[in-house]
């Protein structure tokens, strides 16, 4: 693999600027192994799992990647702010347990006070054995220029994940399209600030090359990695993805209602396949209980038109299932090829 060197790849000590998004309900430890093991950077997606489960997942990744104990893992853990608000005051706080496993990075998303958790990470690293120092790199997802300025200036994060409205799964309900949001963040954050990486709707190497040209130093792909055997989506859900086009998704809170996960902070919603869940919701005639019954019944009957299938706009570009490791390598080579082509323009 022809390595690409950017501010982000240098910071992470990786060969490819491609990050696999932490996707709860979709990412598996095997997906993380494939992405981190092929030159990119993968994130485990934490939901409500116990510390023990998260530690086991990290230990599994360590063993599969053949990284010796005591050496930082070239992988990360994605944590949700509103879940941390519950777990970190419980008798089983997740952040210290996770950090104990030496992940290279932690990714925080969707909380009303993520700064507090950034502090937890910094404090944990401060207290490590001075003989074995480790700085956990902190990623925070941002959906506006204001978010980016706060994360950079107040929380001093290491990496800003700039997520446009195109992104699948959860994100800012009023996030601008990526081509504008990324430009806005690049204009607002000084070059000696956090590394800036782009997320949302990205499924091809040409798009990655474009975003690097715009000024991102890395990219995050989620939906692209749903089309892999490593993704925990069912074959039925993957068949829906394979059929989807550029207008097959929509942002709405309707999906979380049916998923029984409608506890996200204000201003956050989710993008998923726009199926009958959305039709029912927009018609506005059925109460939630009735809508849940319809969705449960359809699911029980093997139908797909009321399944919650989180996916981004980039779902429309992918027409095959292949291994996550091959996906990463192909995307990287497509990116290099697009950059070589454009370099020849001048």
Site string for a second copy, 37-66 (x = CB under 8 A): ------------------------------
The interface with a second copy within residues 179-208 (CB under 8 A) comprises: 179-181, 183-184, 186-187, 201-204, 206-207
Measured between alpha carbons, how far is residue 35 from residues 15, 43, 55 in Å? 11, 9, 19
Rank residues 102 and 331 by Cβ distance to a second copy and give the closer one: 331
CB 111 to a second copy: min, Å: 21
295 binds a second copy (CB under 8 A): no
In the chain the first and final C-alpha atoms are separated, in Å, by 25
Q: Give SS3 for 38.
A: coil
Distance of CA 213 to the CA centre of its chain: 21
Tell me which stretch binds a second copy (CB under 8 A): 84-92, 93-101, 172-180, 326-334. 172-180
Alpha-carbon distance 310 to 264, whole Å? 15
Which DSSP letter does residue 310 get? B
* Binding flag, residue 252, a second copy (CB under 8 A): no
Helix (H) or strand (E) holding 116: helix 114-126
CA–CA separation, 175 vs 164, rounded Å?
A: 6
Q: How far apart are CA 136 and CA 121, in angstroms?
A: 7
Tokens of 329: 């390598």
Contact pattern for a second copy over residues 119 through 158, marking x by CB under 8 A: -------------------------xx-------------
Please tell me whether residue 317 binds a second copy under the rule CB under 8 A. Answer: yes
Q: Does 340 bind a second copy (CB under 8 A)?
A: yes
71 part of the interface to a second copy, by CB under 8 A: no
Q: Which contacts of 186-190 are long-range, i.e. CB under 8 A and separated by 24 or more positions?
A: 186/214, 186/215, 186/216, 188/145, 188/148, 188/149, 189/148, 189/149, 189/152, 189/160
**Judged by CB under 8 A, does residue 73 bind a second copy?**
no
Q: Does 313 bind a second copy (CB under 8 A)?
A: yes
Residue (118 or 212) nearer to a second copy, CB: 212
Question: Using the rule CB under 8 A, which residue among 177, 234, 296, 297 binds a second copy?
Answer: 177
**Of 66, 191, 247, 301, the one binding a second copy by CB under 8 A:** 247
**Least distance from a second copy to the Cβ atom of residue 209, Å:** 5
Q: Per rule CB under 8 A, is residue 336 in the interface with a second copy?
A: yes
Residue 210 CB, shortest distance to a second copy, in Å, is: 4
Inter-residue contact 79 to 106 (CB < 8 Å):
yes
| Cβ-contact 64, 71 below 8 angstroms | no
Could you tell me how many residues of this chain bind a second copy (CB under 8 A)?
Answer: 48
Query: What is the smallest separation between the CB atom of 310 and a second copy, expressed in angstroms?
Result: 17
Q: 96: which 2 tokens?
A: 């210290």
User: How much of the chain is helix, strand and coil, in % rounded to 5?
Assistant: 45, 15, 40
Q: Which residues ranging from 204 to 243 are in contact with a second copy (CB under 8 A)? A: 204, 206-207, 209-215
Nearest partner of 5 among 135, 195, 137, judged by Cα: 195
Q: Pick between residue 98 and residue 182 the one whose CB is nearest to a second copy.
A: 182
Rounded to 5 degrees, what are φ and ψ at 159? -140, 130
Using CB under 8 A as the criterion, which residues of the chain lie in contact with a second copy when the complex forms?
2, 4-6, 144-145, 164-166, 174, 176-181, 183-184, 186-187, 201-204, 206-207, 209-215, 245-247, 313-314, 316-317, 336, 338-340, 342-343, 345-346
């Amino acid at each position: 693999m022809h390595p690409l060197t950017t501010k982000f790849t240098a910071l992470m000590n990786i060969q490819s600027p491609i990050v696999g998004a932490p996707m709860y309900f979709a990412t598996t430890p095997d997906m993380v192994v494939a992405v981190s093991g092929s030159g990119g950077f993968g994130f485990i997606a934490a939901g409500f799992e116990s510390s023990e489960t998260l530690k086991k997942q990290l230990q599994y990744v360590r063993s599969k990647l053949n990284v010796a104990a005591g050496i930082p893992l070239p992988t990360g853990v994605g944590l949700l702010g509103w879940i941390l608000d519950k777990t970190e005051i419980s008798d089983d706080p997740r952040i210290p347990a996770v950090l104990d496993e030496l992940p290279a990075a932690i990714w925080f998303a969707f909380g009303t006070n993520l700064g507090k958790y950034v502090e937890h990470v910094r404090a944990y690293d401060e207290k490590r054995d001075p003989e074995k120092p480790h700085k956990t790199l902190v990623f925070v997802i941002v959906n506006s220029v204001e978010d980016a300025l706060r994360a950079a200036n107040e929380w001093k994060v290491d990496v800003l994940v700039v997520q446009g409205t195109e992104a699948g799964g959860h994100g800012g309900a009023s996030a601008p399209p990526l081509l504008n949001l990324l430009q806005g963040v690049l204009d607002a954050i000084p070059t000696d600030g956090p590394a800036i990486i782009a997320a949302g709707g990205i499924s091809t190497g040409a798009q990655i090359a474009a975003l690097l040209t715009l000024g991102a130093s890395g990219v995050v792909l989620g939906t692209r990695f749903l089309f892999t055997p490593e993704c925990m989506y069912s074959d039925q859900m993957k068949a829906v993805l394979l059929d989807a086009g550029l207008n097959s998704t929509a942002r709405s809170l309707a999906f979380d209602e049916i998923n029984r996960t409608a506890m996200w902070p204000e201003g956050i919603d989710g993008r998923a396949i726009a199926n009958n869940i959305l039709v029912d919701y927009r018609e506005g005639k059925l109460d939630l209980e009735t809508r849940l019954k319809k969705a449960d019944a359809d699911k029980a009957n093997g139908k797909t038109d009321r399944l919650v299938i989180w996916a981004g706009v980039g779902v429309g570009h992918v027409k095959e299932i292949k291994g996550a490791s091959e996906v990463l390598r192909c995307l990287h080579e497509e990116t290099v090829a697009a950059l070589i082509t454009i370099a020849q323009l001048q």
